[in-house]
Structure 1
Amino acid sequence: MAITSANQLELLQTAEAVAREKMIDPNLVVEAMEESLARAAKSRYGAEMDIRVAIDRKTGKATFTRVRTVVEDEELENYQAEFTVEQAKQYMADPAVGDTFVEEVPPVELGRIAAQSAKQVILQKVREAERDRQYEEFKDRAGTIINATVKREEYGNVIVDVGAGEAILRRNEKIGREAYRPGDRIRCFIKDVRREQRGPQIFLSRTAPEFMAALFKMEVPEIYDGIIEIKAVARDPGSRAKIAVISYDGSIDPVGACVGMRGSRVQAVVNELQGEKIDIIPWNEDMPTFLVNALQPAEVSKVVFDEDAERIEVVVPEEQLSLAIGRRGQNVRLASQLTGLDIDIMTEEEESKRRQAEFETRTKLFMDTLDLDEFFAQLLVAEGFTNLEEVAYVEADELLVIDGVDEGTASELQARARDHLEAMNKKALDHARELGVEDSLVNFAGLTPQMIEALAEDGVKTLEDFATCADWELAGGWTTVDGVRTKDDGVLEKFEMSLEEAQDLVMTARVMLGWVDPAELEAADEGAEEGEETEEAGA
C-alpha cells in the first residue's frame, strides 16, 4: 500500500489515540511514525541514503525527502548522503562546506515486512516516551509515601501498580512474613527512583526507618507543622522500634503529642507496621543523657562517653542487665542505631573488677619505674596520677597534697620520673635510628621519641614518608560499611593522638617540604571559618 493512497488524516488520528491511551505527547508518536517511515524508505532506496520523512501536523500528509551534505573532498565517504563542492554546483548556486541539498523523492510502498518494522519502531518510541514520563513523574517523589495496588508476586518480590506504571517491593523490604494477594491495597515508602536501561525502576520499602518517620508525620500534625521534629529512628522491622523526638515549643510534650489521646496516634502507626512496638524517646543534645533515655525501660547507673572513638560505656545493676540488652540484643542494638554510637554494657560488678585491674596496673607501673613500695604507689594512683609524664611535669603542689609527701620527697619523685623518661626516650630514639630513621623526622617538632620509634617500625622513616600519611593512618578512626562500624588502627593511636592533631602535623610537614603553599592553607582555613559563621547565623 502506498502512503499517498491512504487516508492522510488516519496517521494523525492514530497518533492522537495512542498518545491519549499512553498519556504522552502526540508529537512524540508522530515523530516515531516519521522515523519508522524513513527507515522503510531507506530499505527501498538504500541504507546509505539520508532519507527523512515529515508528517504535516494539520493534514497528515507525509513528505519524503533525500538530504545530501556538502563536505571537503578528502572527507567524502558516503557518496549517497554527501558530495563535494564541485559536485554540488550541479544542484546549488555557490555551495559551501556544511550546506545541505534537499530534494523530494516519491513515497514508498509499505510491504508487510516494512510495515512490521515501522510498527516496531513506533512501539519502541512509545515505550521510551512512557518511561521518560514515568521517571519525570516519580523522580521527585522519592522519600514520600505512596498507596499502591498489588499486581503479582515474583520470587518473593511484590510488583505493585502505582497508577502510571509498576514499582517493586523487594522481599527484604517487606515487614516480617507479610504476604499479599493481587488486588490488595498497600502503603509503601518510595525509597529510590532510578533510570535504567529497561526503564525507570521504582523501589519501595516498608522496613526503612524513613517509612516510620513519614507515617508519624501523617498522624501527628505537630510534626507536619515543624513544631516537633523527628531526630532519629531505629527499627527492627515488624518487632520493635525506637524514635527520638524533640519539641521546639516548650508548652508541647513531644512524647505525649506522638502518643496521642489514649495512644490513638501511635496505635495508627503500629497497626500499619504489623504490630511493631514503638518506644518514643525525648531527644537530648547531651549524648550520655540521650543514651540513658534510649536504653529505656532499663535503668542506668553510670555512663562513660569516649567522644573521639564514638563509643560509650554503660553500667547497669546486675538485675537490669538482661533488660538493657534486650532479647537477642535488640534493645542495645536499637539504642546504638539511634545514637550512632558503639555501646558497651557491663554490670556494676564487672565495672568494679575492671577499675580494680586498672588500679593494679598503674600501681605496678609506679612501683617498677619509680622504685616505690606498694602503699606509696597506690597513693599516687588514688590521687589520679595515671602515667609517668604526669608525675614528672606536674606542679609540685599537686604532689604535696598526698599524705606523707614533703618538698624533698616530691622533688625526688619528679627526678626519678624524669630520669626514667629520659632513659626511655634515649632507648626509643636509638632503636629508631637503628631502623633507619633520618634526622628530618627526628628533628620534626610534635613527635616524641616513642612516636618516632612507632613510625619507624611501621616503615615511616623520613619527613617525606610522614607527609604522605593520612590523619586516620596516624590517629586511627572508624569506618562504617553496610551499617557496621569497624575500627581502623592508627600508628600513633596508643599515644592518644587525635585526628585534628594528626592532621595539623601532616599539614605542617607538607608546608615544610614545600608541597603546600601556606597562603593557600590560610585562605582555606578562613573560608572554612566564614562558612561556619554563615551556618551559625542561618541557624
Structure 2
Amino acid sequence: MVKNLKRLIEQVAKEKNLPEWIVEGALKNAIALAVKKDRKLRENLQVDLLEEGIKVYIVRRKNSEVVRFPLDISTEDVNRIAAYAAKEEFLKELEKAEEERGYLEFVQHEGEIAVGIVRRVLENGDVLVDLGKVMGILPRREQIHKEAYRSGERIKALILEVRRYRGKYEIILSRTHPKFLKKLLEAEVPEIKSGEIEIKAIAREPGERAKVLVHAKDMKMDPVGIIVGLKGSRINPISKELSGEKIDVIKWTDNAEELIKKSLSPAPVLKVRLIPQDKRAEVAVPKEKLSLAIGKHGVNVKLANKITGWYIDVLSEEDFERLTALK
C-alpha cells in the first residue's frame, strides 16, 4: 500500500511540477482527515508513511510539549481509509497545498510591486485582487481615498505583507505606503535602480501630495532634473498612477536651513530662523504665498515636517518680523 502511495506522490509531483514533500504532506493530511471522519474523532491526527506501513498518531499537547500516541486501528482499516482518501480527499488537500505554496512564493517578493486584476469590492471596502495563482487584499486603509475600484480593472500595488490569519495566508497590498512610490520611481528612473541617485526619504499624503528627498553620489549630476525628466516625462506617469498626487522632488543637503527652504516647495521662503534645542524652525514667506506654503488642510507643511525632521512654523513676512522684534 505504501509503495503505491509513494508512486502516486512521485507521479502527481511530476504532473503538477510540485516538490514531492508538498504532495506527500497533502496526502498525509487527506489520510488524517479521512481517518477522523471514519472514526468520528475530534483530536488532531498525524500520519507517517513508513516502509512497514501507514502509521496514525493522536497528537496532544502535554506540559507545553507535543506528544504522539499511536491510534488503535488495524492495518486493514488504515489501508482501506487511505485508499479512499487517495481518491476522494487527496485532490482537495493538494489544492490547499498548491494555494499555500503560491502564497509562500510571495513572501520573497514583500516590498515589491504586484500587478493584478480587481475581482470584488467587499462590503467593508476591502478589495480582492487576483494576482494569478492567489488572491491579494487591498484593505480600505491602504487605498488612495479618492480612488474607486471596479471589477476587471488592472491595478498596481505594493506587496506590503504576507501573513497567516485564521489558519490561512493573506497577501496584504498597499497603494498608500511610501515604499510604493519609491518602487514606482525605481521602475521609471534607472539612475535610482542603479544606485547613482539615492532616495533619502519619502513623505506622502496619498493622492494629494508627496515629497521625495534625493541625493546624487556624483556632485555633477542633477538628481531633481533626472527624476522629473524632460517636461515631466518621468514624474508625470507616476503622478498619474497615484491619481494625480503632486510629487515634489527635493535635492538633499546637510544644511538644515536650505533643506527647510526647499521642503516647502512650491512656496518661496524668504527667511528661516532655527531653534535647534526644540528641532523647530520659524519660516517667513510672502503674505500672498502663505496658503501655498501651508497647503490644503496643512498638507504641504506637514509633509515638510516629516521630510526634514524639523517642526516648521510658517509665518507671513510681517508676522515673522514682528516676532523677531519681540525677541
With normalisation by structure 1, the TM-score equals: 0.50
Distance 1:47 1:206 in 2: 43
Amino acid at match of 1:186: I
* SS of residue paired to 2:277: coil
Cα deviation code 1:328-352 (max 9, x no counterpart): 2222122112212211112233233
Question: 1:200 aligned to 2:146?
Answer: no
User: Residues 19 and 275 from structure 1, CA distance in 2 versus in 1: closer, same or farther, beyond 3 angstroms?
Assistant: farther
Distance 1:215 1:15 in 2: 42
Following TM superposition, by how much is the alpha carbon of 1:223 offset from its aligned partner in structure 2, in angstroms?
Answer: 0.9
User: Residues 51 and 137 from structure 1, CA distance in 2 versus in 1: closer, same or farther, beyond 3 angstroms?
Assistant: closer
> Which residue of the partner structure matches residue 63 of structure 1?
53
User: Residues 39 and 255 from structure 1, CA distance in 2 versus in 1: closer, same or farther, beyond 3 angstroms?
Assistant: closer
Question: 1:239 aligned to 2:208?
Answer: yes
Q: Give structure 1 stretches of 5+ with no counterpart.
A: 57-61, 68-77, 83-103, 359-539
Distance 2:20 2:307 in 1: 51
Distance 2:33 2:140 in 1: 44
Q: Give structure 2 stretches of 5+ with no counterpart.
A: 58-67
> Which residue of the partner structure matches residue 110 of structure 2?
142
Q: Where in structure 2 are the equivalents of 1:463-482 lying within 5 Å? A: none
Following TM superposition, by how much is the alpha carbon of 1:160 offset from its aligned partner in structure 2, in angstroms?
Answer: 0.9
Distance 1:343 1:142 in 2: 34
User: Residues 265 and 47 from structure 1, CA distance in 2 versus in 1: closer, same or farther, beyond 3 angstroms?
Assistant: closer
Following TM superposition, by how much is the alpha carbon of 1:47 offset from its aligned partner in structure 2, in angstroms?
Answer: 11
* Aligned counterpart in structure 2 of residue 26 of structure 1, from 20, 23, 37: 20
Following TM superposition, by how much is the alpha carbon of 1:251 offset from its aligned partner in structure 2, in angstroms?
Answer: 2.6
Q: Which has the higher contact order (CA 8 A, sep 6+)?
A: 2
Cα deviation code 1:246-271 (max 9, x no counterpart): 11112321111011123211122122
* SS of residue paired to 2:234: helix
Distance 1:135 1:51 in 2: 24
> Which residue of the partner structure matches residue 134 of structure 2?
165
User: Residues 16 and 158 from structure 1, CA distance in 2 versus in 1: closer, same or farther, beyond 3 angstroms?
Assistant: farther
User: Residues 184 and 284 from structure 1, CA distance in 2 versus in 1: closer, same or farther, beyond 3 angstroms?
Assistant: same
* Greater share of residues in helix: 1
Give the fraction of aligned pairs with identical amino acids, expressed as a percent.
36
Distance 2:134 2:217 in 1: 41
> Which residue of the partner structure matches residue 270 of structure 1?
239
Cα deviation code 1:357-385 (max 9, x no counterpart): 44xxxxxxxxxxxxxxxxxxxxxxxxxxx
The answer to whether the 8 Å contact 2:126/2:139 transfers is yes
The answer to whether the 8 Å contact 2:27/2:94 transfers is no
> Which residue of the partner structure matches residue 490 of structure 1?
none
User: Residues 177 and 298 from structure 1, CA distance in 2 versus in 1: closer, same or farther, beyond 3 angstroms?
Assistant: closer
Cα deviation code 1:8-47 (max 9, x no counterpart): 85884477448855x6433433344346546766867x99
Cα deviation code 1:432-491 (max 9, x no counterpart): xxxxxxxxxxxxxxxxxxxxxxxxxxxxxxxxxxxxxxxxxxxxxxxxxxxxxxxxxxxx
* SS of residue paired to 2:115: strand
Following TM superposition, by how much is the alpha carbon of 1:188 offset from its aligned partner in structure 2, in angstroms?
Answer: 0.8
Amino acid at match of 1:279: D
> Which residue of the partner structure matches residue 153 of structure 1?
121
* SS of residue paired to 1:108: helix
* Greater share of residues in strand: 2
> Which residue of the partner structure matches residue 61 of structure 2?
none
Q: Where in structure 2 are the equivalents of 1:314-463 lying within 5 Å? A: 314-358=283-327
User: Residues 116 and 313 from structure 1, CA distance in 2 versus in 1: closer, same or farther, beyond 3 angstroms?
Assistant: same
Question: 1:311 aligned to 2:311?
Answer: no
Following TM superposition, by how much is the alpha carbon of 1:120 offset from its aligned partner in structure 2, in angstroms?
Answer: 5.6
* SS of residue paired to 1:160: strand
> Which residue of the partner structure matches residue 229 of structure 1?
198
Distance 1:293 1:279 in 2: 10
User: Residues 230 and 36 from structure 1, CA distance in 2 versus in 1: closer, same or farther, beyond 3 angstroms?
Assistant: closer
The answer to whether the 8 Å contact 1:64/1:105 transfers is no
Distance 1:171 1:52 in 2: 42
* SS of residue paired to 2:202: strand
Following TM superposition, by how much is the alpha carbon of 1:126 offset from its aligned partner in structure 2, in angstroms?
Answer: 5.6
Following TM superposition, by how much is the alpha carbon of 1:355 offset from its aligned partner in structure 2, in angstroms?
Answer: 3.6
Amino acid at match of 2:141: N
Amino acid at match of 2:253: N
* Aligned counterpart in structure 1 of residue 258 of structure 2, from 278, 285, 289: 289
Cα deviation code 1:77-115 (max 9, x no counterpart): x9x969xxxxxxxxxxxxxxxxxxxxx954227889x95
Amino acid at match of 2:310: L
The answer to whether the 8 Å contact 1:41/1:108 transfers is no
Distance 1:52 1:247 in 2: 59
Following TM superposition, by how much is the alpha carbon of 1:184 offset from its aligned partner in structure 2, in angstroms?
Answer: 1.9
The answer to whether the 8 Å contact 1:29/1:122 transfers is no
The answer to whether the 8 Å contact 1:233/1:241 transfers is yes
User: Residues 237 and 140 from structure 1, CA distance in 2 versus in 1: closer, same or farther, beyond 3 angstroms?
Assistant: same
Amino acid at match of 2:117: T
User: Residues 140 and 40 from structure 1, CA distance in 2 versus in 1: closer, same or farther, beyond 3 angstroms?
Assistant: closer
Bigger mean CA deviation after superposition, 323-332 or 121-130: 121-130
Amino acid at match of 1:145: I
Distance 2:211 2:70 in 1: 69
* SS of residue paired to 1:223: helix
* SS of residue paired to 1:213: helix
* SS of residue paired to 1:235: strand
How many equivalent pairs are there? Answer: 311
> Which residue of the partner structure matches residue 176 of structure 1?
145
Following TM superposition, by how much is the alpha carbon of 1:326 offset from its aligned partner in structure 2, in angstroms?
Answer: 2.0
